[in-house]
Amino acid sequence: MNHQGPFLFLVVLLFIAGIGTASFRHQTYRIPLLPGEQQTVWQVEARIEFLALGRSTQIFLTLPPEQNGFQPMEETGAAPGFGFSVEQRGTQRRAHWTKRQASGVQTLFYKLELVQDASRDIESIPPEPLVFPRWDEPYRTAQSQVIEALLPITADAHSMAVQLIGLMQRQPVDQNVSLLRDRYEDPELLARLLQSAGIAARRVQVLELEDGRRRQSLTEHIQVWRGDRWSLYHPVSGPVTNTENLLLWQTETPAVLEVVGGTNSRVSFSMISQSRSMLELAEGNRDPGFALSLYSLPIAEQGMFKLIMLLPVGALVVVIMRILVGIRTSGTFMPVLIALAFLQTDLLPGLASFLLVVGIGLLIRSYLSSLNLLLVARIATLVILVIGIISVFSVVSYQLGLIGGLTITFFPMIILAWTIERMSIIWEEEGPKEVVVQGGGSLLVATLAFLLMDQPLVRHLAFNFPELHLSILALVMIVGRYTGYRLLELGRFASFENR
Amino acid sequence: MSWIDPRALRRRGVLGMNRRNVAYIGRYNDRAHYPLVDNKLKTKLMARKLGLQVPDLLHVIHTQHEIEGVERLLEDLNSFVVKPAQGSGGKGILVIRGRTPEGYRKSSGDLVSTNDIKRHLTNTISGLHSLGGRTDVAIIESLVETTDTFSAVSVEGVPDIRLIVFKGFPVMGMLRLATHESDGKANLHQGAVGVGLDIGSGRAIAAVQHNRLITAHPDTGVDLTGISVPNWPDLLSLAARCFEATQLGYLGCDIVIDRHRGPLLLELNARPGLSIQIANDEGLLPRLARIEALDSPFMTVQDRVREAMQWFGRSEAAGQETLFEDAEPALPA
């Protein structure tokens, strides 16, 4: 075929563009591939209380850094009378409230919404060059004895941390550990010992997420750098393997809460978890990619587009059925319009009412043909009659308690009128058999298109990933170049067998 | 319904609908030339200008007003044919063979009144029978009188000969016989009989109805095996000349043979159907490929007809191999 190369290139490009954009948007904006996918959302609230001293007041609250497993969605820190801003310093973010003059007990809230997302994986930031901690005597001797005792029986950072935690918890308590404990808290001691052994370790504040808990405080853990990532250790129980519900709140030295111009400050945390559809979350995502998407339309228009975006799917079915299978339909894309109507009426009521209206229409049309009307007038007559049939049908079915009968109004009147007209011409010209063949073909294709368009997955993908239509376009174009036999031609030319 | 392996079809060189559309109609037929063949009036006027023989054009009805006075136009006509200029697939063709005091007699023998004819004309000019429902004009032309050869096999309507002309070469031919079932129309899918014709001689190769091989006409029981079309080379020339007239590379020419005037061009088709392959029991592809491989584009009509007869004719030496032996005998309806 001429121009086959560029054509194939274009088709492949379109196909990849469709799939690629869809997967990119799935990855980046977390638009779910399946309808009704749920995700856990944590709403964490930090409550800060302090006694203001009646002068200018500044409050700093360390905020959780970007981390694996959680996708921050929305944060608010507004408090009446306070200025609020979020500052970024290095990798650490801080909330900053300010007030010129505050006195008495003050309460501030910081709310954070996080989507739990196990697949989120961000690159770990390697530690700064290690600074060996200074020890005063007699602790210096004690720590070097501890480390020297452990060095021969450990291999790497991880085993050293595990052994060290084990040693500190051992009963009876090791003399050196006991001595060191007089001077240092457990977490600090652990970090210092690990650093002295040449291991990058740091103290971190962790919030344990548990649905419905209130007034929680942060717990202190140790993080050890293992060459490519940080591992979390509990100072008593050792390595933490399940970090799913642990939110890393603070990783660097400054305190979690700093209050200037106030005393008796404290921070506590409450949290609840919610299950929310991923789609809802994606819609709430205010990324720039969304400004140009269908979500930015008013709800009513969105509803319309949910239908419009199904049309290419129906068109693909028609293309396949006509070019690959060879089914004859009356009107090329009429089956798609019928299928769209089926979406509103449901299949069986739709089929029944369609056949009924077209049947009655054909009867009336056979009388009209004896009236010698001009074509336009005859179609107009049919349109009016179709409306009449539909009205009568709706009223009667309502009176009989058949609510399904009312859905017949979803059929496009003009399409019905034209269908009747075409069918009646086919009847006159080519006989009832052809009416059955073409009408049946149309209904078959319409039914198949409906069955596909009615799939929740198809509806979901068609609306939420409109770029997939590029891939459908590529499919339609490639089928459009198919020059092989149609399926039904294998029957039509069957007489060529064996000769 | 039996099925055939697509590989077997390919081996036999059968042309499928998709391939016809993309590789032949799409490639060789320039859309700009379609109106000439889609509009029978234009075809007729063009043919007259170029000296191609066509049935006489008696009247053209353009408006509803003209229909009111149509009795006067039809007064001195005993037989005539009403056609939409832009009809397709034989739609809207009304054949009047004679008249009686009660009305006009159709080819089927049914009687129609003047009012029926007027309604037919009204429908026609309002586009009922036309491609896409466009407003149209109605052509009234003289009825072709069948030759003796064909009057025996055709019950209703005049048999016509469909020739596929590819780049000016007649590549395949088929005689189409109307049956009672096809209501006098020569469309195979409506039940007409197709008789494949040897391009070399104009003799029958095989006959099919509803894609099945038959040996006799289903209505009359007349044997179809011995049919031989008269004036065969003239007929091929007429078809071949349509290429120059229309510039369409893949063309279907429908030709009738008039008792007095010989082969007449009835109409042209830019999208000829594929059933002709069944009637010939042969695929079109090898023949089309042979002509596509040709690199001498300029040949006279006579050269093309001679070459085609030589290439595509079934050799006498092969014992006049026809397929009538293995066909089921048809029962008169």
DSSP A267-318: EEEEEEEEEEEHHHHHHH---HHHHTSGGGS-HHHHHHHHHHTTHHHHHHHH
Residue pair A49/A270 in contact (Cβ under 8 Å)? The answer is no
Check A481 against B278: CB less than 8 A apart. no
Tens-place pLDDT, residues B230-279: 889 999 999 999 998 899 999 999 999 888 888 999 889 898 988 899 88
* Predicted local distance difference test score (pLDDT) of residue B327: 46
Across B97-113, average pLDDT = 84
Residue pair A349/A410 in contact (Cβ under 8 Å)? The answer is no
Tens-place pLDDT, residues A76-92: 887 778 888 888 877 77
Query: What is the rounded CA–CA span in Å between residue A77 and residue A484?
Result: 66
**Token pair belonging to B81:** 């044919």
Across B307-327, average pLDDT = 63
Check B14 against A425: CB less than 8 A apart. no
Task: Show the beta-strand stretches assigned E in A168-239.
Answer: 201-208, 219-225, 230-234, 238-239
Give the pLDDT band (50/70/90) at residue B184.
low
Residues 281-310 in A contacting B (C-alpha not used; CB under 8 Å):
none
- Reference A247, options A199, A205, A295; nearest CA is A205
Query: What is the rounded CA–CA span in Å between residue A318 and residue A476?
Result: 10
Residue pair A139/A183 in contact (Cβ under 8 Å)? The answer is yes
Query: What is the rounded CA–CA span in Å between residue B102 and residue B97?
Result: 14
Query: Whole-model pTM?
Result: 0.67
Task: Please name the helix (run of DSSP H) or strand (run of DSSP E) that holds residue B41, with its range, or none.
Answer: helix B40-50
Q: Supply the DSSP string of A113-156, one letter for each residue.
A: EEEE-TT---PPPPPPPP-PPP--TTHHHHHHHHHHHHGGG--S
Residue of B nearest to A323 (CA): B18
Q: Please give the single-letter amino acid code of residue A180.
A: L
* Predicted local distance difference test score (pLDDT) of residue B165: 95
Other CB atoms within a 10 A radius of the CB of residue B304 amount to: 22
In angstroms, how far is the first alpha carbon of chain B from the final one?
A: 22
Residue pair B211/A494 in contact (Cβ under 8 Å)? The answer is yes
* Range in A419-428, B5-14, B305-314 the model is least confident about: A419-428
Question: Would you call A479 exposed, middle or buried from its count of C-beta atoms within 10 A (0-12, 13-18, 19+)?
Answer: middle
- Reference A354, options A365, A367, A338; nearest CA is A338
| pLDDT of residue B1 exceeding 80 | no
Q: Supply the DSSP string of A17-85, one letter for each residue.
A: HHHHHHHHHHHHH---SSTT-EEEEEEEEEEEEEEEESS-EEEEEEEPPP-TTEEEEEEE---TT-EEE
C-alpha pair distances (Å), B34 with each of B246, B248, B249:
8, 8, 11
**A325 Cα to chain B: minimum distance (Å):** 11
**B138 Cα to chain A: minimum distance (Å):** 15
Residue pair B269/B254 in contact (Cβ under 8 Å)? The answer is yes
Task: Please name the helix (run of DSSP H) or strand (run of DSSP E) that holds residue B18, with its range, or none.
Answer: helix B17-19
Three state DSSP letters for A220-237: EEEEEECCCCEEEEECCC
Radius of gyration of chain B (CA): 20
Check A485 against B2: CB less than 8 A apart. no
Ramachandran bin of A54, using left for φ above 0, alpha for ψ from -120 to 50, beta for the remaining angles: left
Other CB atoms within a 10 A radius of the CB of residue A483 amount to: 17
Task: Please name the helix (run of DSSP H) or strand (run of DSSP E) that holds residue B169, with its range, or none.
Answer: strand B169-177
* Predicted local distance difference test score (pLDDT) of residue B131: 65
In this prediction, what percent of chain B has a pLDDT beyond 70? 90
**Token pair belonging to A159:** 């085993």
Nearest by CB to residue B133, choosing from A375, A482, A483, is A375
Check B14 against A494: CB less than 8 A apart. no
Other CB atoms within a 10 A radius of the CB of residue B119 amount to: 18
Residue of A nearest to B191 (CA): A430
* Phi and psi torsions of B206, nearest 5°: -155, 160
Check A494 against B19: CB less than 8 A apart. no
Residues 198-257 in B contacting A (C-alpha not used; CB under 8 Å):
208, 211-213
Q: Does B5 reach chain A within 8 Å, measured CB to CB?
A: yes
- The residues facing A232 across adjacent strands are A223
Residues in chain B closer than 8 A to A1 (CB atoms): 23
Q: Please give the single-letter amino acid code of residue B172.
A: M
- Reference B128, options B87, B184, B80, B165; nearest CA is B87
* Predicted local distance difference test score (pLDDT) of residue A225: 87
Check A493 against B278: CB less than 8 A apart. yes
Check B6 against A485: CB less than 8 A apart. yes
3-state secondary structure of A178: helix
Query: What is the rounded CA–CA span in Å between residue A356 and residue A362?
Result: 10
Query: What is the rounded CA–CA span in Å between residue A432 and residue A423?
Result: 9
Check B278 against A495: CB less than 8 A apart. yes
Output the tens digit of pLDDT for each of chain A's 499 residues: 456 788 889 999 999 999 998 888 888 777 777 777 777 888 888 888 899 888 889 998 888 888 888 888 788 887 778 888 888 877 778 888 998 888 888 888 888 888 887 777 777 777 877 778 888 888 888 888 888 888 888 888 888 888 888 888 887 888 888 888 888 888 888 888 888 888 888 888 888 888 778 888 888 888 888 888 888 888 888 888 887 888 888 887 667 888 888 888 888 888 887 776 666 666 665 555 555 567 667 766 777 788 888 999 999 999 999 999 999 887 778 888 888 888 877 888 888 888 888 888 888 888 887 776 767 787 788 888 888 888 888 888 888 877 666 666 667 777 788 788 888 877 776 778 888 888 899 999 999 999 999 888 898 888 888 889 999 999 999 998 888 899 998 888 888 875 5
**A338 Cα to chain B: minimum distance (Å):** 20
Q: Does B301 reach chain A within 8 Å, measured CB to CB?
A: no
Residues in chain A closer than 8 A to B6 (CB atoms): 484-485, 490
Query: What is the rounded CA–CA span in Å between residue A350 and residue A23?
Result: 36
Task: Please name the helix (run of DSSP H) or strand (run of DSSP E) that holds residue A420, with its range, or none.
Answer: helix A413-430
Q: Supply the DSSP string of A359-413, one letter for each residue.
A: HHHHHHHHHHGGGT--HHHHHHHHHHHHHHHHHHHHHHHHHTT-GGGGGGGGS-H
Check A490 against B3: CB less than 8 A apart. yes
Check B18 against A484: CB less than 8 A apart. yes
Query: What is the rounded CA–CA span in Å between residue B14 and residue A493?
Result: 8
